[in-house]
Amino acid sequence: MSMRIFVLAALFLLSLPTFAQTGLRATQLAEFADGLSQPHDAAFSPDGQLIYLTDMRNSRIQVLEAMTLKPVGRFGAGELSYPHDAEFDQAGRLLVADTGNDRVAIYEIKGAQAKLVGELKGLAGPEGVAVMPDGRILVTNTRKATLSVFRDGKLVQTAGGPGSRDGELRNPHDVEVASDGTVYVVDSANNRVQVFDAALQHRASFGAALGLSGPKYLAIDGDRVWLADEYNHRILLLDRSHQLLGVLGSGKRGRAADAFHKPEAVLARAPYVWVIDTYNDRVVLLRID
């Protein structure tokens, strides 16, 4: 091998993702897969005891005990159409991104019992919903590549628009809000996450250095961010400066504590992580060792 070819080969190897060097060790504690069909995201109940899982292709919400993944009940059949995301508002109501119905469905919740009490309309393929500290509700519109802002049930602002420049979006999925009001939008088709302040002014973007491929939903756990990198079959752990701390998954399709098939979402409450392993039709509870 010539010296030039050797150097080029070495540079190529150095450019490959270093999954092994950043791999996280995880122990599987529980799994639920009974009857699920492409689950997408989930929300903790206000007391943290339950999770509300959007069972997308079944068009319903599955309620599970958070620490055992034992089923508690389900609701939404006949009311929801391909729901993708869920979040609780400050009044304890569950907001569901009811994608197929182009709305956010609002439920009053008592355990696994739910009553549809309202909706936010005027949306276009909503796939993410989040609540600001001041009560505003943020919703991603995948078809229009925008972010809708509601206050007291009324649309008060629209941000974004199609494109790849700062503040523009392509097929946006999740939106999450940190306790300080920082807004994270997973700009899926641009393979990045954009960060905005509470006024929705662009602050930063990240993803290129991580080699993202179709990122979908993220979770904020204290000063750390977990991100589902769907087409790379992995879950990333980042610090709040968006530097990589570790990886769950080898980058190849699989089904194990550390192997997934196009996972779309993750919940986190250290040292526990709930991976919504979408195309394995399951949710799995892990402890990060």
Per-residue pLDDT of the chain (289 residues; tens, 9 = 90+): 444 443 333 343 344 344 334 889 999 999 999 999 999 999 999 999 999 999 999 999 999 999 999 999 999 999 999 999 999 999 999 999 999 999 999 999 999 999 999 999 999 999 999 999 999 999 999 999 999 999 999 999 999 999 999 999 999 999 999 999 999 999 999 999 999 999 999 999 999 999 999 999 999 999 999 999 999 999 999 998 999 999 999 899 999 999 999 999 999 999 999 999 999 999 999 999 9
Report which of 122, 88, 125 is spatially closest to residue 106, judged by C-alpha positions: 88
Distance between CA atoms of residues 254 and 267, nearest Å: 20
pLDDT of residue 262: 98
pLDDT of residue 102: 98
Give the position of tokens 């709040």: 240
- The DSSP letter of residue 7 is H
Question: pTM of the entire structure?
Answer: 0.91
Whether 165 contacts 177, CB under 8 Å: no
Partnered with residue 155 across adjacent β-strands are 150
pLDDT of residue 250: 85
CA distances from 13 to 17, 44, 263 (A): 9, 41, 26
pLDDT of residue 20: 38
How is domain 21-288 classified at the architecture level of CATH? 6 Propeller (2.120)
pLDDT of residue 240: 87
Report which of 63, 87, 176, 259 is spatially closest to residue 279, judged by C-alpha positions: 259
Structure tokens given for 125:
């393929």
**Helix (H) / strand (E) containing 283:** strand 282-288
pLDDT of residue 21: 44
Under DSSP, is residue 54 helix (H, G, I), strand (E, B) or coil? strand
